[in-house]
Amino acid sequence: MSRSSYIFTSESVSEGHPDKVCDRISDTVVDLLLSKDPEARVACETLTTTNQIILAGEIRCAVDVSSEEIEAAAREAVRDIGYEQDGFHWKNSTFQNFLHGQSEHIAQGVDGGENKDEGAGDQGIMFGYATNETPELMPAPIQYSHQILKRMAILRKSGARPEFEPDAKSQVTLRYQNGQPVGVESVVVSTQHKDGMTQEQIRELVRPIVSEVLPEGWFPPEAEFYVNPTGTFVIGGPDGDAGLTGRKIIVDTYGGAAPHGGGAFSGKDPTKVDRSAAYACRWLAKNVVAAGLSERCTIQVSYAIGVSKPLSLYVDLHGTGQIDETRLEDALRQMADLSPRGIRTRLQLNRPIYARTAAYGHFGRNPDTEGGFSWEKTDLAEDLRKLA
């Protein structure tokens, strides 16, 4: 029997965190190639450390994209994040590009042909999740953690809070009763800052941001409000710790409140089901909850490399459902084509929309006019309501 009363914690990291810098660069490369060729194939990994940016992986594009163009895009991404420090600078860091052509053996399994639909780019399992505990239908701890850091970044970039530097982390612990969040146990924020600032000064700059994000009356007790617990955080970003693409998969998804299939998202074009099928699962789960068929919903799919159809579809409504789960599984199969091509077509994923996903979560965001976050639409909710 699942617990109804408990304490749960999630964390987020800012766009200036070393791993997120790498996610941003990798997704910028994805966007660059998709802007040239919507059918481009990209698997780009990035490593950053003190004044070093290193790219590796494989690409295929119908239009030639020079290494100089890739370098310029990567540097612009770092500049936009805000790194102009001695130990990591968008302009002065050494750049190395080891991207090469896509493996023919991978391509032969993925590409479609006269007698074969496009296959999945790899085997694996993907999950999607939604819950009614926030308006975004996301778990509250991760959603608040993201919002704290996003607000800090907005203030930093606008010049309203120049004391903040790009690297930051947040952590929110909530108290649940009857399966719903009812209050905050603790909040932790660690932020890189200008030299010469005291811990107490940074604490008072962070306080109103946390207060603005959390529901009224939810600010934690003073003894449980932790800001820069180590005292000083001046050296940060890739100069403080090396970064790699794909190391923040729980931050990217549901903050540990739901399963994750294991595959990272960033740096991958949408033929990779690690990314596109996880987006599709979130889309379906969100629509189920938006339709009022359950308070929570987890969806899993699985694939085999080179095979277009999903091998399985599983739905768990966590005992909150208004419909039989087997019936819902059958209905979702009819409503949504979950082949790699079907997902990309329905959600219009062959567009340069991925750099914006690299920080503050791939889910719980608003669909935008350029096609970003299309998997957050609730366009199936009305048809799903009829099932109940």
Residue type, 55: L
- Given the residues 20, 146, 150, 193, select the one marked as catalytic: 20
Is 17 an active-site residue? Answer: yes
- Given the residues 165, 239, 269, 274, select the one marked as catalytic: 274
Q: For residues 313 and 301, is the Cβ–Cβ distance under 8 A?
A: yes
Residues belonging to the chain: 388
Residue 102 in marked binding region: yes
Is 58 an active-site residue? Answer: yes
Is 247 an active-site residue? Answer: yes
Residue 45 in marked binding region: yes
Q: For residues 59 and 102, is the Cβ–Cβ distance under 8 A?
A: yes
Residue 275 in marked binding region: no
- Given the residues 242, 260, 304, 385, select the one marked as catalytic: 242
Distance CA 34, CA 352 (A): 5
Residue 322 in marked binding region: no
Is 15 an active-site residue? Answer: no
Question: What would you measure as the largest C-alpha separation in the chain, in angstroms?
Answer: 67
Is 195 an active-site residue? Answer: no
Is 272 an active-site residue? Answer: yes
Is 45 an active-site residue? Answer: yes
Residue 324 in marked binding region: no
Is 377 an active-site residue? Answer: no
Residue 56 in marked binding region: no
Is 116 an active-site residue? Answer: no
Sequence-distant (≥ 6) Cβ neighbours of residue 18 within 8 angstroms: 48, 167, 237, 238, 240, 241, 242, 243, 244
Q: For residues 60 and 67, is the Cβ–Cβ distance under 8 A?
A: no
- Given the residues 15, 27, 45, 295, select the one marked as catalytic: 45
- Given the residues 163, 185, 241, 329, select the one marked as catalytic: 241
Lookup: tokens for 131: 């819950």
Residue 169 in marked binding region: yes
Dihedral sign for Cα 356, 361, 366, 372, please: positive
As a 3-state breakdown, the chain gives helix, strand, coil percent values, each rounded to 5, of 35, 25, 40
- Given the residues 146, 150, 193, 272, select the one marked as catalytic: 272
Is 36 an active-site residue? Answer: no
Single out the residue of 383, 388, 386, 381 nearest to residue 322, CA to CA: 388
- Given the residues 8, 11, 15, 17, select the one marked as catalytic: 17
- Given the residues 233, 265, 363, 373, select the one marked as catalytic: 233
Residue 309 in marked binding region: no
Is 268 an active-site residue? Answer: yes
Just list the catalytic residues.
17, 19-20, 45, 58, 169, 233, 241-242, 247-248, 268, 272, 274
Q: Residue ranges for the binding site for K(+)?
A: 45
Q: Residue ranges for the binding site?
A: 17, 19, 45, 58, 102, 167-169, 241, 247-248, 264, 268, 272
